[in-house]
Amino acid sequence: MQGGVEISGLSPVVIPVFVSHLGCPHRCIFCDQTQFSEPVAPERIPGIVSTFIAGCRDPHLRKRIIAFYGGSFTGITPGLLDRYLAEAGRLVEAGIVHGIKASTRPDMITPELLARCRRTGFVEMEIGVQSMDDRVLEASRRGHSASDAVSAARIVRDSGLELGIQLMPGLPGEDRESFRRTIDETVSLRPDHVRLYPAVVVKGTEMDRMYQAGAYVPLDLDEAVRRCLYGYARFSRQGCTVLRMGLPPSRSLQVAAGPYHPAFGFLVKARGYRVMTGVLKQRFGGELDLEVHPGSVSELIGYRKENIDEFGFIYSFDERLPRDYVQVRGAVERGCLQLKDILEYIL
């Protein structure tokens, strides 16, 4: 691998470089990139990378990746794109980072451009799909179609890069049936990684104006958790890594309404254990004695202990068990569940 050796078992160091709104030809109804930082100039990248790595634990033992976030990277004007690629590529060649990744729109990907990115040191491209329902995409003024996403995913796959996909449950016009179809079609694209960002109403956006006028009602927190749990279970069953669920905390983000929660991803996983525990309670009754992986104990207990308070179980942990799995101690038949077993109970 260029730039060093990746050490298995350790999380990568992902160095964010924000190119806020660069390359975006449309202003989607949910977006206001002006609330975020100004785009990072290409010549600042080496300093940002150096400072970020210096603040990380054991960076020399971990894979180090530059990640261009916030805009449509492949849509950046050619001269400026050349400068970004040159600066990041030099860091790969010098062994300071192992690779590069970026996010972009489905209608801004070509085989030639991805071939160039790969030669520069790219290892992954994320596509902002948001929905696979053309009605939802049109209502959100995305400016691309679901077929564009299918084509883009194929091009990324054919290029040899890893494929990431971003989805946004709860956009205008989406119902549960539409969301399930989006998950079905996204699963068929075989992404390596997925991010699930439930739509929230950001102040100053067109969606905010729609919300204020009563023309758009965002998902409530419970429904957003349910939809993301369904997606998480489906993608996990396929072996696809769900990198994030819910927007990351940001001091500059001004949310007017919608299912924003600083621990949204934890809520989703805890809901999964709540559903699995409820099914086991129906099967066995009485006080359950549950076993989970040690890394899953907090999710089993639930947010503010709501799972253990509701079901009154006792628990222990066993590091031999997989994550997203729970079993009844001593049960011989039907005493264990994984997320894939509870899809019918989620949505």
Residue with more model confidence, 8 or 131: 131
Specify whether the CB–CB gap between 72 and 119 falls below 8 A.
Answer: no
Mean pLDDT, range 265-271, rounded to an integer: 98
Tell whether the model's pLDDT for residue 3 goes beyond 60.
no
pLDDT band for 36, please (50, 70, 90 cuts). low
Q: Is the pLDDT of residue 2 over 60?
A: no
pLDDT at 226 over 90: yes
pLDDT digits (tens, 9 = 90+) for 153-195: 999 999 999 999 999 999 999 999 999 999 999 999 999 999 9
Q: What are the φ and ψ backbone dihedral angles of 299, each rounded to 5 degrees?
A: -70, -35
Residue 5's pLDDT band (cuts 50, 70, 90):
very low
**pLDDT for 307 beyond 80:** yes
Q: Can you give the pLDDT at residue 228?
A: 98
> In this predicted structure, what is the pLDDT of residue 4?
41
Angle formed at CA 62 by CA 235 and CA 231, multiple of 5 degrees: 10
DSSP state of 77: -
Residues 31-51 have a mean pLDDT of 87
Model confidence over 85-135: pLDDT tens digits?
Answer: 999 999 999 999 999 999 999 999 999 999 999 999 999 999 999 999 999
Arithmetic mean of pLDDT, 195-213: 96
pLDDT tens across 9-28, in order?
Answer: 688 999 999 998 899 887 89
Average pLDDT over every residue of 205-223:
97
Angstrom distances, CA of residue 150 to CA of 74, 147, 157:
17, 5, 11
Yes or no: say if 275 and 301 are a contact pair by the CB < 8 Å rule.
no
Distances (CA, A) of 55 to 51, 88, 155, 279: 7, 19, 36, 44
Q: What is the pLDDT of residue 251?
A: 81
The pair phi, psi for residue 336, each rounded to 5°, is -135, 150
How far apart are alpha carbons 28 and 137 in whole angstroms? 9
Q: What are the C-alpha distances in Å from 267 to residues 196, 274, 342?
A: 13, 10, 17
The whole-chain average pLDDT of the chain stands at 94
Token pair of 166 as six digits: 């971003």
Confidence of residue 35 (pLDDT cuts 50, 70, 90): low
Residue 171's alpha-carbon distances to 52, 166, 306, in angstroms, are 34, 13, 29
Rounded mean pLDDT, 228-240: 97
Residue 146 has pLDDT above 50, yes or no: yes
pLDDT more than 70, % of the chain: 96
Domains along the chain?
13-262 (3.20.20.70), 277-346 (no CATH)
User: Is 34's pLDDT higher than 70?
Assistant: no
- In this predicted structure, the answer to whether residue 230 has a pLDDT above a threshold of 90 is yes
For 227-242, give the secondary structure using H, E and C.
HHHHHHHHHHHHCCEE
Name the percent of the chain lying above pLDDT 90: 89
